[in-house]
Chains A and B, each alone.
Chain A
Amino acid sequence: MKLEEFEAKKILESFQIPIPPYGGVVTGANEVSSALKRCGPAPWILKAQVQTGGRGKAGGIKKAKTLSEAKEIVSNLLGKKLITAQTGTDGILVKKVLIEKGVAIQKELYLSLTLDRKQGKMILIASSCGGMEIEEIAQTSPGKIEKMEVSVPSGIETYQARELLLKLGLYDSNSKLVQERIKFIKKCVKTALSIDASLLEINPLALTENHQLIALDAKIVIDDNALFRHPEFKTMESSLGQSSAERQAKKAGISYISLKGNIGCMVNGAGLAMATMDIIKQHGGEPANFLDVGGGASVQQVTTAFKIILSDKNVKAILVNIFGGIMKCDVIAQGIVTAVEEIKLTIPIVVRLEGTRAEEGRKILAQSGLNITSTRSFKESAEKVVELATGTIAVTPSPSLV
């Protein structure tokens, strides 16, 4: 679960990590005045709450010095589609603006805690270059990236934090400041481990003119697998940042991701589901979605899956690809027939059943009298569904797609 900036900052604040004085999140110009009051005197920073990088360059972060200026900026940002280097041409709709107090800073740095998949460890990454993406720093000044292993659940020791300060040029002759900064780093580590973050990124991490470290921006991704032990995140608004179809799928235990094509897919297993999308594309079609119906694939599950696929009005044909292992194909075929009848499916559907009792399954489909094309091989299934969706014969896969 990826959090919005304001949510991430609230978490940091609850762990006593300094953030800029918080005014609030507004959804209309009428809320601006009270938010500014909470911040204290100008200048104020107004930040579009969208989950994408490159907001600043795209005009999503503005500075205001007067109330009328702030109101105007908020009115302009809300409802606007922000197009950044990462969003593509569609952009991303701004629904909320975070208002906080502008902070005078002397230096921007970088700090993050993230999972190193290869080592299977949490690592702390820091750099004296901040404000740009870490990948950019890695390219322009690879020598300025510090990495440190974090022990789970104990975190890092004080000497490690001190070492990091030295490397970042944050060590100071004032020992009180050093103690503060060590605490800051240790708190960040503690926060990441306490909330099961797979990413906690503070970029920029700023050194203010008052010599304090402060989190100017924050990005937090919570490990979905750990949400069961964090009821406090249940209410986070980001958890609702999905389409209604995606929410419906999640409830039913189905993995569903909407894409831009017109061929709906229903598959059991994530790997096979991805492979099914790939083969559709190879034969000249465009998948409309990723959908893993799960291992069980009961009648109810299949019905829900069909409904979710059909909620996308672009879908012209559906490919069902089930490898029956533990789940027997005849049971799945019966489920498909029942579901198709129940929701009165009218668009063509291609079903490939393979594995346990596949022959019996195909017989059930053939005898159903429904608009179902039963296929055998993986390739034939892709060809058939592309033909039905586009009205043209599928192209032979071009090697360039590989």
Chain B
Amino acid sequence: MYSGASEIARQVDAAFYWIGGICVVLLIGITAVMVLFVIRYRRARRPEAVQIEGSLPLEVTWIVVPTLIVLFMFFKGYEGFKLMRAVPEDAQVVEVVGQRWFWTFIYPEQGITSDRLYAPVGRPIKLEMTAPADDVVHSLYLPAFRVKEDCVPGKKSYLWFQPEQEGRYHIFCAEYCGKDHSRMITELVVLSPEQYLAWLGRKVSDRNKPVVMAQAMDPDSAEIKERDGAALFKTFCVSCHGPEGLGGLVENARDFTKLEGWKRSSRWRITWRRSTREATGRKPRPRRSSSSTWTSVWARSRSRDGPFPLNRRRGRTSRTPAAQTARPTAVAWADRQSHAAAARSGRGKERKQRCWRPFST
């Protein structure tokens, strides 16, 4: 197990060693006794068994002793858990939104967002988590810090941790959430306090940097790629196109929700899911399956668009064809880390690469 060396991780690991250790000893004991009995009391050696009905003292022993042992284990687990739920006063709050299939980290004080979690070393971070009401349950999992908590639509949950070493750590989605569940991965980047401040500064100035309209209308342009789409939208686009992206606040402001690749994702923000084309280098595929066996054709005719009323989709935004068929954040969270390189070398190569290597530089 790798570790980000935090107090929580140490407590949890101690509980692992205590409970696991006791279990291993007991398991070896049980197995050894079993094997020993099979060898010693095999029929060839002992044709006649000694009849023993039972023994009350023994029964009491193996009820009482295991009870004490498991109560000890309960206590060990409880200890670490208490620490996990006791957030220090000075913790920095970062809001987290889990959506199919990407994470958004919001720094409310600075008003910036990021698709990776940045944190300074040594400071406790409290993650306040949720998922949009029209999404599904996700679960933010930071294995290096031994913490995990579900993002439940419409509810709030929290966890905290305190990184003690700089580095990059996996963040997984641990609650099954559909097609790209296994690709809903991002990372925690722990920086030194100076680097972290520099990063914050860059993000804030990026947010405030004016935008050239000609560039903003081309989602593939390098200037736009390097910026945070959500922050950009919130700062600039929103003034004419409105928080819902419906347009019409000034003359000729388009309705973005009619464009492919757009997603109205939460009540807080509109996230521009440009990563689709960026990742695959292709137009989104027309429908969910290109296969045309009779079963799939029939199934399709019965399911989404067919006349069968039970299957008609209920018109949630996440079910719009664009959002469904786009192959969004999918493959490419890895690529996101080197947009420029990807642009230079030509996109599409990454897709063929069988092992994506997220953190190689």
A and B bind: no
Binding site for A on B (CB under 8 A): none
Binding site for B on A (CB under 8 A): none
